[in-house]
Structure 1
Amino acid sequence: MRIVIAGGHGKIALLLERRLADAGHDPVGIVRNPDHTADLETAGARALVLDLEKTDVDTLAGHLDGADAVVFAAGGGGGSGAERKLTIDRDGAILLADAAEKAGVARYVMVSAIGTDDFDPARAELPAANDDDLYQVYMRAKSEADADLRRRDGLDWTIVRPGGLTDDAGTGQITVGTTVERGTIPRADVAEIIATALSEGTAVKTQFEAVSGDVSVSDALATIKY
C-alpha cells in the first residue's frame, strides 16, 4: 500500500514509516522542512515537501493520487502558539480529509489525543492567556478535527486517541475503549496500532482511546466498537 503521512517527521510518524517499509508498504511522509528528507529516507519513507498551512485542497489531492490511505500525525508542536494549534492540528487534519475525498482515497487514520472532548470552551479561545489555556486550545483543535472526520460518510476513518506518550520500547500490548482509565503508551505502540489498522483493515469507523495494557494490538483492534 502507498500510505501518505502528514507530519512525516514526527516521532510517531518515523516509527510508523519504518514499520510500514519493513512490511513492504510504500510510506510517503509530508514534511515542511526539506532538511528532514534524509531522516525519512533512513526510516524507509519517501518525503513529500509541502507546507500544509500554505497549500490548498487541489494541490494536496494531486499528491494523493494513487494513494491507498492517509494518516494525520501532524501537529503544531510544543513550541507553537495557540493559532497553530488550530491551523495545523485542526485545519490541517480537515484539509487532508478534504483532499483525500477529492482524490478518492477512502482510508484515513487520525492520531488524536485522549480526552479531547473534555476541553473547556471558555478557555479554548484565542488568544491563550497562559499554558493551561494553550492546552485547552490544543484539545479543542483535536476535538473539532475528530468531529469533522466522524461526519464524513465517504471516508473509512479511524480515530486513535492515545494517552500520555512515552519513548519507551513498544510492548505490543494495549487497552482500548471508547474511554479508558488515564495512562501512558509508547509511541512505538501507537505506530503499531496505526500500521495494524491499515494492514488488517480493522477499526474502521471507530474512535477509541488507547493506553498500555495486556491485549495484543491486533486482538484489541479486531474487537473495538464505537
Structure 2
Amino acid sequence: MTDLRVVIAGGHGKIAQHLIQVLTAHGDRAVALIRNPEHESAVEALGALPVVLDLETATVDEVAEVLAGADAAVFAAGSGGSGGAARKDSVDRAGSVLLADAAERAGVKRFVQISSFGAGEPVADDAEDSWKEYMAAKTAAEEDLKARSKLDWTILRPGGLTDEDATAHIALSEPPLERGTVPRGDVAKVIAALIETPSTIGKTLMLTSGGVRLEDAL
C-alpha cells in the first residue's frame, strides 16, 4: 500500500529524518511535528509537511486536528538527554501519552512507539540517575500504550543507535534479545515496514543489527 499519511512526533529527530525519506521514497506522505520553526525548511527538504507543534504545551485537540485523516502515528520524540527528570517525563512519557490520546480522538488506530533497550526491565542500582529517569519515562510510556484497546500499537525498542549506513540486515524479536547497536537508517526502515505489518500489532519488539534481511525478519 502506498500514499499513506504518517504523522511523526519528533519530526526533526535523526530517526524521523531517515523515516521521512523512507516514506517519501515509498510514495507515502510524512507529516513532521516539530517544536522549532527553524527546522521547517529542513524537514520540508526531506519531503515532509512540517507542522510546528510543541508536545510539551499542545492540547489533545490541537494534536488530534493534525492527526485527522492520518493512517498512522509514530512517536519518535525524545528529550535527547537534555534537562532532568521533569523533562524526560514531559517528553518521553507525557509526549507519547498525548500523541496516543490524540490518535484515539482522531480515530487513527495504527500507532508505533519508539522506545529503547532497557525499558520495561529492572535498572541496575549503580546506573546513572539520568539513565534511571530516562528508563522510568520510557517504561511508563510503554505501559500506557499497552493499556489502550482502541489503538493498533507496536512498541519498538532499538539498541544503541549509530549513524552508520543502513544495511537492512537486522535482528528483530520479542524480548529478550542480546544487546547490540543498529543504524538509525535501519530503525527507520523497520518503522515504515511495521506500519504495514498487521502481525506486529500488540507486540513489543527488540531491534539490533543482525544477519536476517529486514523483509524476512518481519
State the TM-score, normalized to the length of structure 2.
0.94
Say if 2:114 is the partner of 1:117. no
Note the 1:182-221 alignment, pairs <5 A. 182-221=179-218
* Match in the other structure for 2:133: 137
**Structure 1 residue 74 corresponds to structure 2 residue 77:** yes
> More displaced, 37-46 or 192-201?
192-201
Q: 1:102 to 1:121 in 2, by over 3 A?
A: farther
Cα displacement (A) at 1:80 = 2.6
Superposed CA deviations along residues 28-55 of structure 1, whole A, max 9, x for unmatched, are 0000100000110111101010010111
Letter in 2 for 1:79: S
Question: What is the CA distance between 1:196 and its match in structure 2?
Answer: 0.8
1:157 aligns with 2:160: no
* Structure 1 unaligned spans of 5+: 124-130, 222-226
Change (3 A) 1:147 1:48: same
Query: Which residue identity does 1:97 align to in structure 2?
Result: A
By how many angstroms is 1:197 displaced? Answer: 1.1
Match of 1:56? Answer: 59
Residue 120 of structure 1, CA deviation:
3.9
Moved over 6 A (4+): none
- Residue 89 (structure 2) pairs with residue 89 (structure 1): no
Q: Which digits, 9 at most, give the CA deviation of each residue in 1:93-113, with x for residues without a partner?
A: 000000000000000000000
Per-residue CA shift, 1:128-153, capped at 9, x if unaligned?
Answer: xxx81011000010011011111111
Shift of 1:84: 0.8
Q: Distance in 2 between matches of 1:163 and 1:71?
A: 18
Aligned equivalents of 1:171, 1:202: Cα separation in 2: 23
Tell me which residue corresponds to 1:127.
none
Alpha carbons 1:30, 1:49 under 8 Å: kept: yes
Quick one: which amino acid aligns to residue 132 of structure 1? E
**Percent identity for Structure 1 against Structure 2:** 48
Amino acid at match of 2:213: S
Offset at 1:79? 2.5
Match of 1:179, SS state, is coil
**Cα distance in structure 1, aligned partners of 2:83 and 2:169:** 32
CA shift, 1:200, in A, is 4.0
| Residue type of the alignment partner of 1:8 | G
Instruction: Report the Cα distance in structure 2 between the residues aligned to 1:192 and 1:19, rounded to whole angstroms.
Output: 7
Given that 1:7 and 1:75 are in contact with CA atoms closer than 8 Å, whether structure 2 keeps it comes out as: yes
SS at match of 2:153: strand
**Distance apart, 1:78 and its partner CA:** 2.1
Matches within 5 A, 1:22-37: 22-37=25-40
Residue identity matched to 2:136: R
Aligned to 2:49: 46
RMSD: 1.6
Count of residue pairs brought into register by the alignment = 214
Greater CA deviation, 25-34 or 203-212? 203-212
Question: Does the C-alpha gap of structure 1 residues 122 and 184 become closer, same or farther in structure 2, counting only changes over 3 Å?
Answer: closer
Q: Which residue of 1 aligns with 2:108?
A: 105
Task: Tell me if structure 2 keeps the 8 A contact 1:119–1:139.
Answer: no
SS in 2 for 1:118: coil
1:86–1:167 CA distance, 2 compared to 1 (3 A): same
